[in-house]
Amino acid sequence: MDKNMRTQYIHDTLETNYMPYAMSVIISRALPEIDGLKPSQRKILYTMYKLGLLKGARTKSANVVGQTMKLHPHGDMAIYETMVRMTRGNESLLHPYIDSKGNMGKVYSRDMAFAAARYTEVKLESICEELFRDIDKDTVDFVDNYDGTLKEPVLLPTAYPNILVNASQGIAVGMASKFCSFNLREVCNATIEYMKNPKVNIADFLIAPDFSTGGELIYNRKQLEKIYETGQGGFRIRAKYRVDKKNSMIEIYEIPYTATAEAVIDAVTALVKDGKIREISDVRDETDLSGLKITLEVKRNTDYELLMTKLFKTTPLEDVFSCNFTMILGSTPELLGIKGILEEWLAFRRECIRRQLTFDADRMKEKLHLLLGLQKILVDIDKAIAIIRNTEKDADVIPNLMKGFDIDKIQAEYIAEIRLKNLNKEYIIQRIQEIESLKKGLQDIEETLGSKKKLDNIIISQLKGIAKKYGQPRKTTIVEEEEQEEVTEDIFIEDYNLKLFLTQEGYMKKIPLTSLRTNPEHKLKEKDRIIQTVETSNKTDILLFSDKCKVYKLKAHELDDNKASELGSYLPGLLETEENEKILTVAATEDYSGFLVIIYENGKVAKVEMQAYATKTNRKKLTGAYYDKTPVVAIFHLQEDTEFALFSEINKVLLFHTDKVGLKSTRQTMGVQVMRLRKGDTVKRVCTVEESGIQDLDYYRTKGLPATGKFLKEEDREDRQMKLFEPDPAEKGKEK
């Protein structure tokens, strides 16, 4: 290491170089203060105020940008972009500060760029009168600009809680700020009520946020009360739309404040391309001078409400606005709730009014002092004229008047400056009549300055006037949360009827009924055959029971649709089953209603509630699906009890009704003995009585269980054999 190099510790470097920068960003750039403005915004507005743009005509934006650089030493584009966001044309603010002419872009569009500063014109909106109210009466402190050539206000003496009226967002170093906007009338009313009773529930008067872009706010009172109390939290806001059923269109005309038209269109387009939304045939941005408009062309017979529910769930058409009410107080960042903000603003506003009243009182005292001097010459106007006329030197006029009427220098100078034509009794009497009103005014000011209640009455009066003059109806509609349907993933699943086909070799086909009607012939592997057919829908759960006492669970919509001419899904690979594990049966259910009937080789039958296989989590495999001490012959999913035929190895047959078997809630119940078997005999086949081919059903029925059954009659054997060897319709189209 070079001997001339010295060790530099990282924490020393951060403290020396980085911390001043970080504090500058936090205090002087990114976060708003109690007047609701960031430094850059305040400098622009004050520059426009000094340019006379509160009352005068518009001027070129480039002129304002150039003049602002005297207070804000940053690039012209940075200043212009800040100014653009404050304009009426941009629609970022609920109550814009700047009246604009020309293209200022739109807050709801990321691609609609604003025109250059040389093409647009601006002036201050009339509401800025309330931002600058009495600023020339020493209501706020002024400091030097960056080069000491000009003075600028530290804060603006806003006559209403502007920080709550216009949305604001800032990212500093290590902290951020995000204020939603509130309706001006509601803010003024809530402030008044809080002044009257600090324990008031603000949510009773500050109903909910209100945004310049409108939309619908999903109202949750507890959620908002938490935000009002802590200054943190989020709420949902979504787009507004109208349906044109005649032309099969949906027109979206207001979107959440946090969204842009391009982001919405991109999201909808992606969903259509991915096949997740099939109802939309086209999406267009038809935004024009009349405002935002996104048009969705939909297919006929579309459920418009369901489609919009899907879009709210999957696109920026519904979003969460996250609040973070962090602001600068003095030189410290603070996170405050609504009451905390109102308390700080009221303290600030009271001080502004005190300073304004003190300023007015000082001017009134000065004027009163002059008029009291003028009153003294009323007794002898001729004497005053004589003193002035007989004084040889100009410098002696003031001292001579002071001696002649026992007045001070300021009063004497005022009298000496009165024009000769005004040195008449009528003029002087008219002027000194103001003395009593000045004294009364001074007394009122002193009483007001000494009374917090009178100061608050002034604030209340101003707030009422502002609410009446500038208040406007809510733009964001409030929708009760209870009115909203609970959105589940099921709404995104296309529902249609289908059939499941399970084959002996472990293949399963999922075929929509519409496809099956057009091509009913099945393709199967050589020596394979269909062992089960289940008719269901695309929104069901599929349960596949294996011979290893396991049940595998799938969602029907997760399986690809097949055609009859395809082999289907190979279950051992899909389910990752054990070697030589076979799927015995398939059950499909949407609500896990009904029950399973499980028949074992030893003649026992178990009847298990379908709910025993329902799980709260999306488990794909359950072990212990049934009693495993004896092999299973067949499993049936039933909604109601039915009659089955049991066939044993020695050709004994027993008909039994499932209502004679008790229903169990545990999966591994061993069941009850239904068919009493001889030693070495087992149940080899089970089917419904309709499928059995038996002619004399009563012969095989028994009154009590368990029973041994009856040997199969020859006539039933022949009929059954015919049915057993009759070609399966499903196999007629099987390819060898």
Task: Give residue 725's pLDDT.
Answer: 36
Angle at 581 between CA 575 and CA 585, to 5 degrees: 75
Mean pLDDT confidence for 278-286: 92
First to last CA, the chain: 83
Task: Give residue 265's pLDDT.
Answer: 96
Locate 593 and state its tokens: 């209603």
Q: Are 262 and 282 in contact (CB under 8 A)?
A: no
Mean pLDDT confidence for 385-396: 87
The string of pLDDT tens digits covering residues 12-68 is 777 677 667 666 666 666 799 999 999 999 999 999 999 999 998 999 999 999 999
Q: Looking at 18, 21, 119, 570, which residue is catalytic?
A: 119
Mean pLDDT confidence for 219-227: 95
Task: Give residue 723's pLDDT.
Answer: 44
**CATH architecture of the domain formed by 37-157:** Alpha-Beta Complex (3.90)
Helix/strand/coil percent split, the chain, to 5: 40, 25, 40
Q: Which residue has the higher pLDDT, 212 or 520?
A: 212
What's the longest Cα–Cα distance across the chain?
Answer: 159
Pick from 380, 382, 415, 371: which is nearest to 397 by CA? 415
Helices and strands: H and E segment counts in the chain: 23, 33
Mean pLDDT confidence for 575-598: 91
Pick from 335, 246, 237: which is nearest to 297 by CA? 246
Reduced to 3 states, what is the DSSP secondary structure of residue 658? Answer: helix
CA 149 from centroid of its chain's CA atoms: 46
Helix runs in 289-337, H state only: 304-314
Give the position of tokens 């003028």. 374
CA 297 from centroid of its chain's CA atoms: 26
Task: Give residue 519's pLDDT.
Answer: 72
Q: Are 279 and 307 in contact (CB under 8 A)?
A: yes
Locate 562 and state its tokens: 């097949």
Task: Give residue 25's pLDDT.
Answer: 63
pTM attached to this predicted model: 0.75
- pLDDT bracket for residue 283 (50, 70, 90): very high
Sheet of 176-179: strand order equals 168-171, 176-179, 318-324, 232-238, 216-219, 477-480
Task: Assign 3-class secondary structure to 481-507.
Answer: HHHCCCCCHHHHCCCCEEEEEEECCCE
Beta bridge partners of 244: 249
For residue 508, pLDDT beyond 80 = yes
Task: Give residue 325's pLDDT.
Answer: 96
Q: Residue type for 135, please?
A: I
Fold of 493-731: Neuraminidase (2.120.10)
CA 736 from centroid of its chain's CA atoms: 59
Query: Using CA atoms, how far apart are residues 520 and 565, in angstroms rounded to an integer?
Result: 8
The string of pLDDT tens digits covering residues 303-334 is 899 899 999 999 999 999 999 999 999 888 99
Task: Give residue 300's pLDDT.
Answer: 87
Lowest mean pLDDT among 276-290, 434-448, 528-542, 710-724: 710-724
The string of pLDDT tens digits covering residues 67-101 is 999 998 888 999 999 999 999 999 999 999 999 99
- Residue count of the chain, please give it: 736
Q: Residue type for 605, please?
A: V
Known catalytic residue at 119: yes
Per domain, the residue ranges of the chain are 37-157, 240-316, 344-470, 493-731
HSE-CB at 646 with a 13 A cutoff on CA atoms is: 34
The string of pLDDT tens digits covering residues 183-221 is 999 999 999 999 999 999 999 999 999 999 999 999 999
Task: Give residue 73's pLDDT.
Answer: 84
Locate 3 and state its tokens: 């001997």
- pLDDT bracket for residue 733 (50, 70, 90): very low
Task: Give residue 734's pLDDT.
Answer: 38
Q: Are 495 and 230 in contact (CB under 8 A)?
A: no
Q: Are 368 and 442 in contact (CB under 8 A)?
A: yes
Sheet of 121-124: strand order equals 59-60, 121-124, 98-101
Pick from 362, 327, 342, 54: which is nearest to 196 by CA? 342
Locate 493 and state its tokens: 């699943």
Between helix 61-68 and helix 76-85 the angle, nearest 10°, is: 120
Give the position of tokens 């929104």. 539
Mean pLDDT confidence for 562-577: 88
Contacts of 33 (CB under 8 A, 6+ apart): 155, 163, 327, 328, 329
CA distances 708 to 495, 521, 656, 676, Å, are: 47, 42, 11, 5
Q: Output phi, psi for 155, to 5 deg.
A: -140, 165
The string of pLDDT tens digits covering residues 622-655 is 888 998 888 999 999 999 999 999 999 998 999 9
Angle at 368 between CA 366 and CA 374, to 5 degrees: 110
The string of pLDDT tens digits covering residues 106-149 is 999 988 889 999 999 999 999 999 999 999 999 999 999 989 99
For residue 162, pLDDT beyond 60 = yes
Task: Give residue 525's pLDDT.
Answer: 86
Pick from 680, 692, 685, 678: which is nearest to 722 by CA? 692
For residue 579, count CB atoms less than 10 angstroms from its CB and return exposed for 0-12, middle for 13-18, buried for 19 or more: exposed
Rg (CA), the chain: 44
Spelled out in words, what is the top-level CATH class assigned to the domain 240-316?
A: alpha beta
Q: In terms of CATH, what superfamily is 344-470?
A: Topoisomerase, domain 3 (1.10.268.10)
Q: Are 372 and 482 in contact (CB under 8 A)?
A: no
Q: What is the mean pLDDT of the chain?
A: 89
Locate 470 and state its tokens: 């500038």
Q: Output phi, psi for 143, to 5 deg.
A: -130, 165
Locate 570 and state its tokens: 């190979």
Query: Using CA atoms, how far apart are residues 621 and 577, in angstroms rounded to an integer?
Result: 10
DSSP class of residue 237 equals E
Task: Give residue 485's pLDDT.
Answer: 56
